[in-house]
Amino acid sequence: MSTILEIKDLHVTVEDTEILKGVNLSIPAGEIHAIMGPNGSGKSTLSNAIMGHPNYKITGGDILFKGESILGWSTDERARKGLFLCFQYPTAIPGVTVTNFLRNVLKNVRGKDVPVREFRAEVKEAMEKLQMDQNFMARYVNDGFSGGEKKRNEILQMSLMKPGLAILDEVDSGLDIDALRIIAENIQSQSNADRSMLVITHYQRILNYLSLDRVHIFMDGRVQTSGGPELAEKLEQEGYDWVGKATAGGGA
Count of other CB atoms within 10 angstroms of residue 184: 22
Identify the band that residue 81 occupies on the pLDDT scale cut at 50, 70 and 90.
very high
Per-residue pLDDT tens over the stretch 108-144: 999 999 999 999 999 999 999 999 999 999 999 999 9
Cα–Cα distances in angstroms (integers) from residue 130 to residues 3, 91, 165, 173, 233, in the given order: 29, 20, 20, 17, 27
Distance between CA atoms of 94 and 113, rounded to whole angstroms? 23
pTM above 0.85, yes or no: yes
Distance between CA atoms of 168 and 178, rounded to whole angstroms? 18
Amino acid letter at 152? R
Beta bridge partners of 238: none
Q: What is the pLDDT of residue 251?
A: 43
Closest CA to 99 of 85, 83, 116: 116
Distance between CA atoms of 65 and 29, rounded to whole angstroms? 11
Per-residue pLDDT at 1 exceeds 90: no
Query: For all residues of the chain together, what is the average pLDDT?
Result: 92
Per-residue pLDDT tens over the stretch 19-71: 999 999 999 999 999 999 998 899 999 999 999 999 999 999 999 999 999 99
Closest CA to 65 of 107, 15, 7: 7
* Domain spans, the chain: 3-93+164-248
Task: Output 248 or 204, whichever has higher pLDDT.
Answer: 204
Given this structure, which CATH class describes domain 3-93+164-248? alpha beta
Residue 231 three-state SS? helix
Crossing angle of helices 98-110 and 147-161, rounded to 10°: 30
Closest CA to 179 of 141, 140, 151: 151
